[in-house]
């Protein structure tokens, strides 16, 4: 029996796949799980589309530009169909466009949204038999996508999806239509995965979800804050991050967890989208500027450390007046974000904002975006400069021999590039080292290994006890 299975597996292992991912971290992690499912089906992952029997595109439809990318890619690689290769479009564009994708790109065999990934093994069998397959009807499911194997590609950070889908229906956003209903995994399964990640030697975990703080344990009672704290206490884990939080459900107990569990990182990403309460109401965000600022005050009041705060902003939402936009600009002054991701509003299919009047002309959106980014650059300069002279703990992510620099990241999620004494070996990727910050740029810090702090260069601190944030 075992022999047959092994023989079967080795035969199937001839099949290869290549997966390209567009969009957010959630999508990147979905791809790691999809790849895991394919490996369990006997496929082998390859690094180039040309070498694969099956080419998958895991797509994003959050903005029009992201959506168009996959159609360009499909056109570019159409010629490979002649070699017998099969194509699959999965993720948000797949769910949004459904079978229309077959019309636009007839060489595609499989179209599946993220709520249908559980059915991938059956869908693969169908396409292997030369049929077309679709997985598009599972958006109402209450089940999550659990995989026996996840083909993790990030060598330093283990991602864990704790909640899938979104029930928020913000007026501009396509996600509730593409990712389906909100559904949480059990805390038991999340914690088991966290322990497996720690056992595999990774020391950093990032909890993922469209709205992580809407998390509800389907069988136990764990709130998001309790789950976060538990993950932070898993032996071997030194850094825990989470994204994305919705301000409406950002409750004080999350800050209490951060105050009491030192492995929870010094960073909160809290998308605000606009500084104007009128625009927030039109966006159906369910909080006002004042309520958002109240959450910021909680974060600023963290007991032991300074927490970096980043956000997402949309400019040019329908009806956004000059005065509304000024409110967004003054919010930047008031909060002093450590970083922002800013976007021009992009009309999306199915969303309520699509039918709204008073669309903002493209040139005006472009001008507002430029003004916003310019202001944020001014704010970030002193924000990053404040770190000069500090010793920050960096997790080593890579080595640039040409620049003679090691790339790392602080607990606040700021890139920290640093040098090491000549002749000493570079510290191991994934290790934690103290860096004396000597220079600051608007988006990164630079410095040198702080050897006199008692840490030998090149020596991994990964096993050393202690929190990620305080050195």
Query: Applying CB under 6 A, does 61 fall inside the site for ligand SF4?
Result: yes
Minimum CB separation of residue 371 from ligand 5AD in Å reads: 17
Q: Give the Cα separation of 163 and 183 in Å (integer).
A: 6
- How far is C-alpha 454 from the chain's CA centre? 35
To the nearest whole angstrom, how small is the minimum distance from the Cβ of residue 243 to ligand SF4? 11
Which of the choices ligand SF4, ligand 5AD, none does residue 23 contact, using the CB cut-off of 5 to 8 A by kind?
ligand SF4
Site string for ligand SF4, 172-211 (x = CB under 6 A): --xx--xx--------------------------------
Q: Closest distance between ligand SF4 and the C-beta of residue 199, in Å?
A: 29
Q: In this complex, which beta carbon is closest to ligand SF4, that of residue 90 or of residue 225?
A: 90
Contact by Cβ (8 Å): 440, 432: no
Residue nearest ligand 5AD, Cβ-based: 312
Residue 273 partner contact from ligand SF4, ligand 5AD, none using kind-dependent CB cut-offs of 5 to 8 Å: ligand 5AD
Q: Which of 17, 18, 19, 24 binds ligand SF4 (CB under 6 A)?
A: 24
Name which of 274 and 411 has its Cβ closer to ligand 5AD. Answer: 274
Residue 14 half-sphere exposure toward CB, CA atoms < 13 A:
4
How many chain residues are in contact with ligand SF4, going by CB under 6 A?
13
Among 34, 35, 49, 60, binds ligand SF4 (CB under 6 A): 60
Evaluated on CA atoms 261, 462, 305, 207, the torsion sign reads: negative
Tell me the β-bridge partners of 341.
312
Tell whether the torsion through CA atoms of 149, 154, 155 and 157 is positive or negative: negative
Instruction: Return the one option of ligand SF4, ligand 5AD, none that residue 172 interacts with (CB less than 5 to 8 A, by type).
Output: ligand 5AD
Q: Tell me how long the chain is.
A: 471
| CA pair distance 404, 41, nearest whole angstrom | 43
* H or E element at residue 39: helix 25-40
Token pair of 349 as six digits: 């299919």
Compute the distance between CA of residue 55 and CA of residue 74 in angstroms, rounded to an integer: 10
179 interface partner picked from ligand 5AD, ligand SF4, none, CB below 5 to 8 A per type: ligand SF4
Cα angle, residue 300 at apex, residues 385 and 187 outer, rounded to 5°: 115
| Binder of ligand SF4 out of 92, 112, 225, 272 (CB under 6 A) | 92
Would you say 62 or 392 has its CB closer to ligand 5AD? 62
Q: Tokens at residue 310, please?
A: 């980043």
Q: Does 112 sit near ligand SF4 (CB under 6 A)? A: no
CB 277 within 8 A of CB 289: yes
Please identify, using beta-carbon distances, which residue of 95 and 469 lies nearer to ligand SF4: 95
Q: Nearest-5° angle of CA 22, CA 407, CA 425?
A: 135
Least Å from the CB of residue 137 to ligand 5AD: 24
Question: Which residue of the chain is nearest ligand SF4 when measured via CB?
Answer: 23
CB atoms inside a 10 Å sphere around CB 137 = 12
Distances (CA, A) of 150 to 120, 153, 329, 365: 14, 9, 42, 40
448 binds, among ligand 5AD, ligand SF4, none (CB under 5 to 8 A by kind): none
Q: Which two tokens stand for residue 85?
A: 């290769």
Quick one: what does residue 26 bind among ligand SF4, ligand 5AD, none, with the CB cut-off 5 to 8 Å set by partner type? Answer: ligand SF4
Q: Return the number of the residue (91 or 434) whose C-beta is nearest ligand SF4.
A: 91
User: Do residues 419 and 451 make contact, with C-beta atoms less than 8 angstroms apart?
Assistant: no
Mapping DSSP onto H, E and C, the string for 432-471 reads EEEEEEEEECCCCEEEEECHHHCCCCCCCCCCCCCCCCCC
Supply 174's token pair.
């396509």
Nearest distance from C-beta of residue 182 to ligand SF4, angstroms: 13
Q: How far is the CB of 56 from ligand SF4 (least distance, A)?
A: 14
Interface with ligand 5AD by CB under 6 A: which residues? 62-63, 172-173, 271, 273, 312, 314, 343, 345-346, 348
Closest CA to 132 of 166, 171, 88: 88
Asked if residue 56 binds ligand SF4 (CB under 6 A), the reply is no
Binding mask 123-162 for ligand SF4 (x = CB under 6 A): ----------------------------------------
348 binds, among ligand SF4, ligand 5AD, none (CB under 5 to 8 A by kind): ligand 5AD
Query: Distance (Å, rounded) from C-alpha 87 to C-alpha 18?
Result: 10
Rounded CA-CA distance 304/386 in Å is 18
**Pairing mode, strands 204-208 and 54-59:** unpaired
Q: What is the nearest approach in angstroms of ligand SF4 to the Cβ of residue 298?
A: 27
Look at residue 264 and give the partner it binds from ligand 5AD, ligand SF4, none, a contact being a CB closer than 5 to 8 Å depending on partner kind. none
Q: Which residues bind ligand SF4 (CB under 6 A)?
A: 23-24, 26-27, 60-62, 91-92, 174-175, 178-179
């Amino acid at each position: 029996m075992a022999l047959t299975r092994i023989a079967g597996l080795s035969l199937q292992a001839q099949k290869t796949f290549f997966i390209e991912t567009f969009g957010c971290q959630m999508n990147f992690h979905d791809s790691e799980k999809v790849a895991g499912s394919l490996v369990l089906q006997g496929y082998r992952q390859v690094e180039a589309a040309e070498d694969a029997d099956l080419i998958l595109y895991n797509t994003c439809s959050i903005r029009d530009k992201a959506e168009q990318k996959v159609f360009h890619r499909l056109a570019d690689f159409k010629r490979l169909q002649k070699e017998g290769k099969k194509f699959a479009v999965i993720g948000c564009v797949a769910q949004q466009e459904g079978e229309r994708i077959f019309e636009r790109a007839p060489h595609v065999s499989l179209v599946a949204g993220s709520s249908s990934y559980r059915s991938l093994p059956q869908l693969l069998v169908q396409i292997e038999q030369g049929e077309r397959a679709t997985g598009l009807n599972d958006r109402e499911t209450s089940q999550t996508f659990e995989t026996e194997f996840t083909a993790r590609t990030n060598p330093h950070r283990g991602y864990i999806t704790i909640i899938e889908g979104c029930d928020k229906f913000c007026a501009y956003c396509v996600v509730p239509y593409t990712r389906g209903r909100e559904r949480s995994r059990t805390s038991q399964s999340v914690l088991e995965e966290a322990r497996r990640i720690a056992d595999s030697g990774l020391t950093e975990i990032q909890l993922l979800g469209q709205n992580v703080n809407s998390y509800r344990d389907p069988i136990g009672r764990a709130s998001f804050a309790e789950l976060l704290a538990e993950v932070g206490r898993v032996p071997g884990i030194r850094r825990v991050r989470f994204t994305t939080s919705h301000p409406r459900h950002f409750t004080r107990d999350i800050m209490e967890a951060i105050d009491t569990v030192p492995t929870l990182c010094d960073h909160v990403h809290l998308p605000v989208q606009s500084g104007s309460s009128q625009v927030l109401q039109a966006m159906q965000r369910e909080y006002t500027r004042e309520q958002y600022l109240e959450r910021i005050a909680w974060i600023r009041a963290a007991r032991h450390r300074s927490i970096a705060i980043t956000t997402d902003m949309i400019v040019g939402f329908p009806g956004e007046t000059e005065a509304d936009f000024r409110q967004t600009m003054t919010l930047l002054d008031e909060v002093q974000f450590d970083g922002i991701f800013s976007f021009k509003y992009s009309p999306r299919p199915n969303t309520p904002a699509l039918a709204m009047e008073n669309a903002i002309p493209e040139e005006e959106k472009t001008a507002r975006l430029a003004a916003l980014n310019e202001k944020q650059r001014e704010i970030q300069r002193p924000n990053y400069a404040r770190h000069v002279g500090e010793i920050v703990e960096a997790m080593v992510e890579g080595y640039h021999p040409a620049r003679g620099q090691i790339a790392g990241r602080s607990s606040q999620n700021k890139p920290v590039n640093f040098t090491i004494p000549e002749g000493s070996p570079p510290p191991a990727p994934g290790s934690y080292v103290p860096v004396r910050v000597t220079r600051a740029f608007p988006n990164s810090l630079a410095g040198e290994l702080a050897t006199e702090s008692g840490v030998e260069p090149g020596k991994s601190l990964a096993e050393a006890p202690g929190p990620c944030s305080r050195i």
